[in-house]
Amino acid sequence: MADVTGPISTLSGASHAVPDGQMCDQHPDRPAVARIQGETDSFGCEMHDMCQECLDAEREWRNSPEAAEWRKGTCEWCKSPADDLRDRRDYEEGSCGRVYRVCGACVKKDNEYWAQEAAAYDDDRYDDYDDDFDDDGFDDELAEAEMNCSMRPDGQCGQAGSEYCDWVCPIRREHDRDDAAVKGTPDHG
């Protein structure tokens, strides 16, 4: 464990910039190539600095049967057994609030609720203001999101669990639609 932070809004698994000269936690003679957020709660998190070998081992573990078992358990929101648990914050508790282990069905339900809430307040009252922002280069929302994306090399979003990733990110919505088409499940976006 290279570093412990104070309150932080990202969740476990998020990728962060590696400080210059930082060495691997497990192999102090090797330079770190990745800084991955570890255990996270409302007080902060642990940051793990990894060399390429450690990063490859972490990626391999995330796709292993052991990691699949770790995702099983009881959802802290609906109290139902689930095999797709993930870290999640309650938006009403703030971006640095308690971290819950929540099933995919509860995440979907929560996202739908907050999307409806946002839509209820979505109006054009600010469109009449003339500002200096020139968005001609960002007409395509997806292109802008891809330019600012926090996607890690392992295909996981560095902002996973954040409000942006869960119900705003067009890359996530497109990915969910692709997954739904492959699995034959309803569209999430």
At residue 8, the pLDDT reads 86
pLDDT, position 165: 62
Domain boundaries, the chain: 1-64, 139-189
Residue with tokens 């996607």, as numbered in its chain: 151
Nearest to 98 by CA among 106, 88, 107: 88
Q: What pLDDT shows up at residue 6?
A: 86
Which token pair is 9? 């809004």
Say what the pLDDT of residue 137 is.
Answer: 47
Higher pLDDT, 132 or 9: 9
| Tally of CB atoms within 10 A around 153 | 10
Q: What is the pLDDT of residues 25-35, one digit of tens each?
A: 999 999 999 99
pLDDT of residue 167: 57
Enumerate the β-bridge partners of residue 157: 151
* Distance separating alpha carbons of residues 165 and 174, to the nearest angstrom: 12
